[in-house]
Amino acid sequence: MSKKTLVITSIANDKHPVLALFARECVQRNVPFILIGDTNSPKEFELAGCSFWSIEKQQQLSFKLAALAPIKHYSRKNMGYLLAIKDGADEIIETDDDNIPKSTFWVSKNRSAKGHSFKNSGWVNVYAYFTKTIIWPRGFPIENVKDKPLVLSSLGLEVLECPIQQGLADENPDVDALYRLTHPLPVNFELKNRLILSANAWSPFNSQNTHWFKEAFPLMYLPSYCSFRMTDIWRSYVAQRIAWECGWSILFHEPTVWQERNEHNLMKDFEDEIPGYINNSKICKELGELKLKVGKENIFENLVSCYQCLVEIEVIGSAELVLLDAWIKDLSSLSK
């Protein structure tokens, strides 16, 4: 039987209602729950059904990445992925502490999924296919938000290998600060046909409701030397680009959580998203033109090539390559 593990990073205390809910539901389903803290996490944390990792415990881990990863950054979540893999996870589910699971959140998934298949389609605004409301996902290029979407009936339904699967979120979906400053919320999505993006079809996906199968675990790496608001988005671009060389597609499906969003300063979010507004299209253009190696056996080499590209175009700091090397060495040691 496949072993699933839930991974969240949070600085909330052990009385947080969403963390408590996840802990209870994980116990009911025999799903390990790994919670990654940071320097401003509570000193004491006791929650049945939850394995909490303080910054001090993380820094004592034998992982090479543990001694290098910066503090006070969402990319600390990488520690959770490594711990789940070390513990024998075959599937990793990740979300955040302001996403509340629906019953469908826990439904078993298959790597092979059926949906409307996009290929060579360029940018795809996946949110536009689940609602009539004007909306786009965080990380979608703002210069493309007015593009007319392809008609679904013109696309075939296919069954494809999708070891990365992104679920949407109702009520307060993952949109950028520009959207939040100019459009009303909440938004609830309709339950429609699923979408599958294959080679040369781009859409950002986040770390808020994402299901990963074992073969795609190396692509979970979150970069540290970039904006907090871009780390999971730019990861998604790299993951998509490498997935094409592995014969994989990315599934986008109906919402299985709803979000009661933590308090945010929208102007601070906007400031942190500026590197994305300016560079998202450029990043995917550069990644798309890379000559990567075909095959799952080249996934680590392709990871290095992609992040070297992002360093060369100066959207991510060069120190990232040291952390990426540690991630690869840690994963390699865990696979022995």
Task: Supply the DSSP string of 115-138, one letter for each residue.
Answer: EEEE-S-EE--GGGGS-SS----T
Return the pLDDT at 156: 84
Q: From CA 117, how far away is CA 156, in angstroms rounded?
A: 6
Tokens 């599937």 sit at which residue?
91
* 248 shares its domain with 142: yes
What whole-number distance in Å separates Cα of residue 335 and Cα of residue 324? 17
240 and 157 in a common domain:
yes
Name residue 150's amino acid. L
| DSSP code of residue 185 | -
Q: Verify that 167 and 32 share a domain, yes or no.
A: no
Q: Are 194 and 325 in a shared domain?
A: yes
Query: Hey, which residues does 117 pair with through a beta bridge?
Result: 196
Q: Are residues 174 and 290 in the same domain?
A: yes
pLDDT at 174: 97
C-alpha angle 257/264/47, rounded to 5°? 55
Nearest 5°: phi and psi at 86?
Answer: -60, -35
Do residues 80 and 187 share a domain?
no
pLDDT of 335 reads 85
Judgement on whether residues 116 and 181 belong to the same structural domain of the protein: yes
pLDDT in the model for residue 262 = 84
**pLDDT at 251 (0 to 100):** 98
Same domain, 121 and 234: yes
Q: CA angle, 171 as apex, 165 and 176 as ends, to 5°? A: 70
E strand intervals along the chain: 4-9, 33-36, 51-53, 91-95, 99-101, 112-118, 122-123, 157-161, 164-170, 195-197, 201-202, 209-213, 250-259
- Three-state DSSP at 140 gives coil
CA-CA distance, 49 to 88, in Å (whole number)? 17
- Say which residue the tokens 């605004």 belong to: 125
**165 and 279 co-located in one domain:** yes
Domain limit, last residue, from 41, 67, 97: 97
State residue 1's pLDDT score.
72
* Beta-bridge partners for 165: 211, 251
Claim to verify: residue 69 and residue 89 sit in the same structural domain: yes
Q: Show which of 97, 114, 142 is a domain's final residue.
A: 97
The total number of structural domains in the chain stands at: 2
Residues 88 and 8 in one domain: yes
CATH number where 50 lies: 3.40.50
Checking DSSP bridges between strand 99-101 and strand 122-123, what pairing results, if any?
A: unpaired
Residue 2: the pLDDT is 82
**Whether residue 49 sits in one domain with residue 146:** no
For β-strands 112-118 and 195-197, DSSP reports them as parallel
Whole-prediction pTM value?
0.97
The domain boundary, picked from 60, 78, 97, lies at 97
Which domain range does residue 71 map to?
A: 1-97
Count of other CB atoms within 10 angstroms of residue 311: 18
Which residue type sits at 266?
L
Count of Cβ atoms closer than 10 Å to residue 56 Cβ: 11
- Mapped onto helix, strand or coil, the DSSP state of residue 55 is helix
Which residues of the chain are under the pLDDT cut of 70?
none
DSSP string of 47-90?
Answer: -TT-EEE-HHHHHTSS-GGGGTSPSSSGGGHHHHHHHHHHTT-S
